[in-house]
Amino acid sequence: MIQLLTPESWPEYELIDSGDGEKLERIGSQMVARPEPQALWRKQLSNEEWVKLADAYFVKSKKTKPTENEWGEWRLKSGAKEQWVVSYNQSGLAFRLRLGLTSFKHVGIFPEQAVSWNYIYNTIKQLDLVETKVLNLFAYTGASSLAARAAEAKVTHVDSVKQVVSWANENMLLSGMDNIRWIVDDALKFVSREVRRGNLYNGIILDPPAYGRGPDGEKWTVEENLYHLLELCKQVMEPKNNFLVLNLYSMGFSPLIAENLIRDIFGVPSYEVGELFVSDRAGRKLPLGIFVRFRSGSNF
């Protein structure tokens, strides 16, 4: 059964309005307006109201290619900050994240992923192992790594961009945590080496982009590479007391794709699959990704 999941109420985040290919959000102390290609409906507020409310407004570059991130620049109001900090504190899970305005519209957080942060934290607590090893691939600024570390897991954080890994390390320190293992590498290459080394993990988290590049220019596309990566992930997953979280963001992808991948490769008897969304003040549900996840106390 396909589920629709949205984060619990979080004082640091609200989707104010969406439509006409954009979204207006309050994230911590700032209002930001940026592109959102899945917001195909009309805005509830006027363009003038958006401009008045937004502390920072992202303007896309006309040179952006369809297969790339949306590059551009932020237009800031007087007094707006290029960097600021938000706190997350839900059901025993607490950490802090430094946010920042980047040239590819992101700010260092995907708020809809709060659903996954709670799942990761609670699953590790419920496994209750002497040591829980977690591998976070395409790990970005590290919110999922912090959720796992807050549950006292031994975390390996992998991303291909050195600056992003440094950003994640900053978030770890802001959160008063330590001992996350940082790896700057191509995800496929790293997991292939882990297979050869015989290293195993209880938990695997994957947030692959639709398109990306490794540190040495390695090309990544979900369509060409995801199946093989998941096959490798199965080989580095402990056969029992395990869990997996896979998030996908490609436009047009159905949750059924994620379901078929997990059934085909892992063959687990039970799993959860669906879409993540957030609602704006008008009640429109903005889809922001699909997910599949499972946890198992016994062998595959």
Handedness of CA 141, 142, 144, 147 (dihedral sign): negative
> According to the CATH classification, is domain 111-296 in 3.40.50.150?
yes
Residues of the chain with pLDDT under 70: 62-69, 297-300
> According to the CATH classification, is domain 2-84 in 2.60.40.1180?
yes
Q: What is the pLDDT of residue 298?
A: 53
Q: What is the pLDDT of residue 67?
A: 44
Q: What is the pLDDT of residue 129?
A: 95
Using DSSP's 3-state secondary structure scheme, residue 209 falls into coil
Q: What is the pLDDT of residue 220?
A: 82
What value, to the nearest 5°, has the Cα angle with vertex 118 and ends 117 and 121? Answer: 85
CA distance 258 to 5: 15
Count of beta carbons in the 10 Å neighbourhood of residue 216: 9
- Give 18-21 contacts, CB < 8 A, sequence gap 24+: 18/43, 18/280, 18/284, 18/286, 19/43, 19/44, 19/284
Nearest C-alpha neighbor of 180 from the set 121, 124, 110, 133: 133
DSSP 125-139: HHH--S--EEEEES-
Handedness of CA 8, 55, 71, 163 (dihedral sign): negative
Locate the domains of the chain by residue range.
2-84, 111-296
Contacts of 234 (CB under 8 A, 6+ apart): 265, 266, 300
Structure token digits, residue 91: 């059901």
Q: What is the pLDDT of residue 251?
A: 72
Q: What is the pLDDT of residue 69?
A: 55
